[in-house]
Amino acid sequence: MNRLVTIVVAALLTFGVSALLAPSTSAQQTPCAGEKCVTDGVAAANGRGSAADASRAIALFESGCHQGVKLACAHEALMRLAWQDDGEAVSRAFTGLAEAERERLRAVYTADCDSGAMRACFHVGVLQENGLAAPKDTAAALERYSTSCNAGVARACYREGKLMESGPPGYRDVMQARELYRQACNGSDQDACYALGMSLLGAEGAVNREQAEKRFVLACESQHPGACRELGKLHLGGKATASDAAKGKAFLDQACKAGDAEACTLTKGG
């Protein structure tokens, strides 16, 4: 029994809780073997040799991580941070990497970026912004994001806007952040639509509230829990242009079912 406990604890420290759970359905449906999960995942992430597909990349990396490939765990954590704003596993995944593995991870994205793969440049920016396998460098991250954003990577516009809205004081520019969010939202990035809505909601004036509601609608239609929650609050609070209590409750119910804790509290009258 003691040996089993030791093995479980070691797995938790090395790969995290997710490595002990069953792979997600998407990972099960995206088979790969060992190190090839990393190779194929990077190709899917950066669009090398085929269309870029972040969801497929995450599934491949997750599959490799469950097979015990530590580097795959780090790639998966990077992708989830970059594309899902999920940084829960980042610290754990990167802490266990040797310097040579960190260099290897950084090198594959840098090389693809230098070869003109704009999504790879975006991923390098995420590494630089967060100090993952690269020194933390806000200016360099913004440059990478800007390059990718100008090349049509909507997610890069969103991350650039987020950094300009709430990053280090010397880099903040709320108006520019809104423009970047708007550009990303127009590129169908629903996190950007939500972020733009929240930024506009904090500004004075009925026009800004009306524009915020429009962005929340776009994101909520794509099942963004936070956007549905804010729509519910707008309607119930009477801030919407056409307040409708029934719609407000429906939006809150939708957000709660999608896992938004605040919406669940509000539906219970909290």
On whether residue 3 sits in a domain, the answer given is no
Do 141 and 162 fall within a single domain?
Answer: yes
Among candidate residues 136, 161, 187, the one where a domain is terminated: 187
Do 257 and 212 fall within a single domain?
Answer: yes
Distance CA 188, CA 185 (A): 5
On whether residue 4 sits in a domain, the answer given is no
Residue 59 CA to its chain's centroid (Å): 15
Distance CA 140, CA 204 (A): 33
Digit-coded pLDDT (tens) for 50-79: 789 999 999 999 999 999 999 999 999 999
- Average pLDDT of every residue of the chain: 88
Per-residue pLDDT at 11 exceeds 50: no
Domain of 196 in residue numbering reads as 189-270
Do 171 and 105 fall within a single domain?
Answer: yes
Buried b (16+ CB within 10 A) or exposed e, 148-181: bbeeebbbbbbbbbbbbbebeeeeeeeeebbebb
User: Is the pLDDT higher at 268 or at 148?
Assistant: 148
pLDDT of residue 134: 83
Nearest to 28 by CA among 64, 72, 63, 79: 63
On whether residue 6 sits in a domain, the answer given is no
Do 222 and 263 fall within a single domain?
Answer: yes
On whether residue 224 sits in a domain, the answer given is yes
Specify whether the CB–CB gap between 193 and 164 falls below 8 A.
Answer: no
Specify whether the CB–CB gap between 148 and 119 falls below 8 A.
Answer: yes
Per-residue pLDDT at 8 exceeds 50: no
pLDDT of residue 18: 47
pLDDT of residue 15: 45
Digit-coded pLDDT (tens) for 232-251: 999 887 554 555 788 999 99
Specify whether the CB–CB gap between 23 and 66 falls below 8 A.
Answer: yes
Do 143 and 69 fall within a single domain?
Answer: no
Residue at token pair 């806000």: 138
Specify whether the CB–CB gap between 109 and 132 falls below 8 A.
Answer: no
Do 74 and 89 fall within a single domain?
Answer: yes
| Number of domains composing the chain | 3
Do 183 and 247 fall within a single domain?
Answer: no
On whether residue 221 sits in a domain, the answer given is yes
Do 48 and 118 fall within a single domain?
Answer: no
Do 210 and 253 fall within a single domain?
Answer: yes
Among candidate residues 75, 97, 119, the one where a domain is terminated: 97
Specify whether the CB–CB gap between 165 and 145 falls below 8 A.
Answer: no
Number of Cβ within 10 Å of residue 194's Cβ equals 27
Domain of 140, CATH number, reads 1.25.40.10
Residue at token pair 């998966």: 76
Do 166 and 201 fall within a single domain?
Answer: no
Do 106 and 28 fall within a single domain?
Answer: no
Specify whether the CB–CB gap between 156 and 142 falls below 8 A.
Answer: no
Per-residue pLDDT at 38 exceeds 70: yes
Among candidate residues 187, 202, 229, the one where a domain is terminated: 187
Specify whether the CB–CB gap between 143 and 165 falls below 8 A.
Answer: no
Do 107 and 181 fall within a single domain?
Answer: yes
Q: Angle at which helices 190-201 and 206-221 pack, to 10 degrees?
A: 160
Digit-coded pLDDT (tens) for 164-179: 999 999 999 999 999 9
For residues 183-195, give the mean pLDDT.
97
